[in-house]
A and B are shown apart, each in its own frame.
Chain A
Amino acid sequence: MTTATATGTRLLELDEVGKSYGNVHALRGVNISVSPGEVTCVLGDNGAGKSTLIKIIAGLHQHTEGVVRMDGEEIRFNSPREAQAKGIATVYQDLALAPLMSVWRNFFLGNEMKKGFGLDIDAMKRISGEELQKMGIVIPDLDRPVGALSGGQRQCIAIARAIYFGARVVILDEPTAALGVKQSGVVLKYVTKMRDSGLGVIFITHNPHHAYMVGNHFVILKLGRLVLDAHRDEITLDQLTAEMAGGQELAELSHELRASEADGTADAAAADAVEAEVDHSLFQRGHGATSVEEHKE
């Protein structure tokens, strides 16, 4: 591994981490480290295990193999609340915003400000307005339900919320996937801002161009395994893109192998495993909004 970077100290470290659902191994032997002031990009095609990986770091799922360390100390999160308490903030693909609740209620959800017995509503409205304005997002009425806002605005609320609540590690789950070119630019600008302010950023994406623009370190996941782990100096955009494309070919190949009636039982079993995994992950992606619920403990 090439983790010896100038910044030195590792904020978060995953050592041979794996996760299985029953007999499906969604993730196997993954080594990743995140340092302050660095963007670690996790790339991979649909079903590569990216979502499983971030859910482990965010505390939504528990890993079944390996060790997760934070500041060199072994940790295991039993709930998202525990992960947050350690300074890990996650901006999910589905953004984890309640659509019928107002902007300020969503912004402070789980971190409400109190005044006496009740909520300090004025302060919460003021701060959420200010924080969004810092990102260049102007929402005229903070009492508006989040569901009435655009995708880019929602993305920014989720990012602003993660930054405001003192995160040390920010996980961004495909923040640009649903955005237009201009809005993606705003988000990428924010990724570099977070990096420059000393946060450790994990940027999940399947777009190598976006990753290469902001990343210091690149990791490619394929069918639940790490297939590439390279620092920025060691790889070009073309190589990164080529590595990404290889994954799709492999999946197609295993389908073909299976169709042309593999003779060895080992081959058939391997193809089965691959297919099961792809199916499982596709399911997860297809039902992005409900998948968190599905696996709720």
Chain B
Amino acid sequence: MSTASTATASDDRVRTRSAASTFFGMPAVGALIGAAVLVALFLAVAPAFRSVGNIGTILYSASTIGIMAVFVALLMIGGEFDLSTGVAVTTAGLTAAHSAWYFNLNVWVGVLISLLFALAIGAFNGWLLHVTKLPSFLVTLGTYFVFWGANLAMTRIVTGGVSSNSISDMEGFNSAHAVFASEFSIGSVNIKIPIIYWILLTVAVSYLLLRTKYGNWILAAGGDSAAARAVGVPVVATKIALFMGTGFAAWLLGMHTLFEYNTLQSGTGPGYEFIYIIAAVIGGCLLTGGYGSIVGASIGALIYGMAVLGISYAGWDVDWLRTFLGVMLIAAVLINNYVRKRADA
């Protein structure tokens, strides 16, 4: 520490970091490098990867992970986990489908009920975490299994089977389909609407994190919740809001899946929660909270999208996808750690 006199002007004391150091100090740098390597690899080995038309397919695959990964990353930066996200997507879709079909309501009413329910699940997760003081890993592992079972059981009760009844002939379906599952083309690139939502959410949530006081609160709640509370940050409310964020993302993805396919399989969802977390971690989120990047999580989702399609375009067996993701996860984390150490030095 320095106790030099304060006479010196401030400007020549504040040394700015070099541009390279700033770049490599970003949480998302490992994901960026990983994405670049992946693009180069698949451009070399997979001819179909080079076709412009496939950009839309890759982005679509990335967006179905990215919409959730953005909120999962925000939650992880806030210091918590949510394992119930994969199942919650299905729960949100089934809630809309069953409530609309069973009570013969306008589809939009089902969509609204689903939104309220998804937000309530998030709030419940956050509240339970606060009341029990248990780790969020445990609390959401519990709700994960609760909703996994409920998805199967409720669907059996309502439809007698394992998939929701088709709602495509119901009132309001067409407009809801237009909102959640429409598509359009730019040249030869087919753009499905979730891609737009994904990009908008990435920008909005990234702004929230880095440029608003709520972002400051999230960083502090994850970095040191006791310190945050001591200086007046409403930590409990912040964390409940973060869980409601993942609830919202589950609803949006659930609505897309429902209106894309008209029905939903009640057993789908489990397994995806880890892919969202992998995307967030590849994007630079620390498991311990307080550090990470929303753009990084979206790049992580893009890596997933490229891997899914790149592997099949290259003619490899798609069974290797998960192996590939595991390797990517560890490699990206190692790159993140290495680069951050070098940038800090």
Chain A contact residues, CB within 8 Å of chain B: 58, 60, 79-81, 84, 90, 92, 94-101, 105-106, 108-112, 114, 117-119, 121, 129-130, 133-134, 136-138, 140-143, 148-150, 152-153, 161, 182-183, 186, 289-290, 292-293, 296
Q: Residue-by-residue, is B208-237 near A (CB-CB < 8 Å gives 1, otherwise 0)?
A: 000111011101100111111111111000
A136 touches B6 (CB 8 A): yes
When the two chains form their complex, are residues A96 and B230 in contact, meaning their CB atoms are under 8 A apart?
yes
A contact residues around B13 at 8 Å (CB): 133, 138, 140
Does B2 belong to the interface (CB within 8 Å)? yes
Main secondary structure, interface of B, reads loop
Residues of chain B within 8 A (CB-CB) of A153 are 1
- Asked if residues A134 and B231 are in contact (CB atoms below 8 Å), the reply is no
Chain B residues near A84: list those with CB within 8 A.
231-232
Among A60, A96, A111, the most chain B Cβ lie within 10 Å of the Cβ of A96
Q: Which residue on B lies nearest to A89, using beta carbons? A: B231
Q: Give Cα A81 to B328, complex, Å.
A: 43
Residue from the set B10, B16, B224, B231 with the largest chain A CB neighbour count within 10 Å: B231
Chain A residues near B14 (CB, 8 Å)? Answer: 129, 140-142
Evaluate contact between B226 and A293: CB separation under 8 angstroms: yes
Q: Which residues of B contact A142 (CB under 8 A)?
A: 14
Q: Is the CB of A80 within 8 A of B223?
A: no
Contact indicator B232/A81 (Cβ below 8 Å): yes
The interface residues of chain B lying within 8 Å CB-to-CB of A79 are 229, 232, 234
B212, B220, B227, B291: which has the most chain A beta carbons within 10 Å? B227
Q: Which chain B residue lies CB-closest to A142?
A: B14
Are the C-beta atoms of B4 and A138 separated by less than 8 Å? yes
Nearest chain B CB to A94's CB is how many angstroms away?
Answer: 7
Residues of B with C-beta under 8 A to A97: 224, 227
Known contacts A80-B231, A109-B228, A99 near B223 by CB under 8 Å: yes
CB-CB under 8 A for A105 and B212, given A80-B229, A118-B207 = no
Q: Closest approach, in angstroms, between the C-beta of B259 and any C-beta of chain A? A: 32
> Taking the complex as formed, is B344 at the interface, i.e. its CB lies under 8 A from any CB of chain A?
yes
How many pairs of residues, A versus B, come closer than 8 Å at their CB atoms?
A: 128
State in angstroms the CA–CA spacing of A93 and B219 once bound together: 21
In whole angstroms, what is the CA distance A137 to B220 when docked?
Answer: 23
Question: By the criterion CB–CB under 8 Å, are B10 and A80 in contact?
Answer: no
| A289 to B: closest C-beta gap in Å | 7
Given the interface contacts A97-B224, A98-B223, does A118 sit within 8 Å of B211 by beta carbon? Answer: yes
Q: Mark each residue of chain B from 1 to 31: 1 if its CB lies under 8 Å from any CB of chain A, else 0.
A: 1111110001001111100000000000000
Chain A residues contacting B229 (CB-CB under 8 Å) are: 60, 79-80, 292, 296
Answer whether A100 and B227 are a contact pair too, CB < 8 Å, given A138-B13, A148-B344. no
- 8 A-B pairs, CB-CB below 8 angstroms? A96-B226, A96-B228, A111-B231, A118-B212, A119-B215, A130-B10, A137-B1, A138-B13
Closest residue of chain B to A154, judged by CB? B1
B211/A110 in contact, CB under 8 A: no
- Determine if A105 and B219 form an interchain contact, defined as CB atoms under 8 angstroms apart: yes
Given contacts A110-B233, A112-B212, A150-B1, 11 further A-B contacts (CB under 8 A): A79-B232, A96-B226, A96-B227, A99-B224, A100-B219, A109-B220, A109-B228, A119-B215, A129-B10, A133-B13, A138-B4
What separation, in Å, do the CA atoms of A94 and B213 have in the docked complex? Answer: 23
Q: With a CB–CB cut-off of 8 A, which chain A residues contact B15?
A: 140-141
CB distance from A137 to the nearest CB of B (A): 7
Q: List chain B residues, Cβ under 8 A from A118.
A: 207, 211-212
A119–B212 touching, CB < 8 Å: yes
Q: Which listed residue (B17, B216, B219) contacts A143, Cβ 8 A? A: B17
Closest chain B CB from A18 CB (angstroms): 22
**With known contacts A133-B6, A141-B14, A105–B216 Cβ distance under 8 A:** yes
- Measured in the bound complex, the distance between the Cα atoms of B217 and A53 in whole Å is 27
Docked pose: A121 CA to B211 CA in angstroms: 8
Residues of A within 8 A of B291 (CB): 100
A90–B230 Cα distance when bound, in Å, is 8
Q: Is B290 an interface residue (CB 8 A)?
A: yes
B99–chain A nearest beta-carbon distance, Å: 35
Measured in the bound complex, the distance between the Cα atoms of B9 and A129 in whole Å is 11
Residues in chain A near residue B213, CB distance under 8 A:
112, 114, 119
Residue numbers in B under 8 Å from A100 (CB-CB)? 219, 223, 286, 290-291
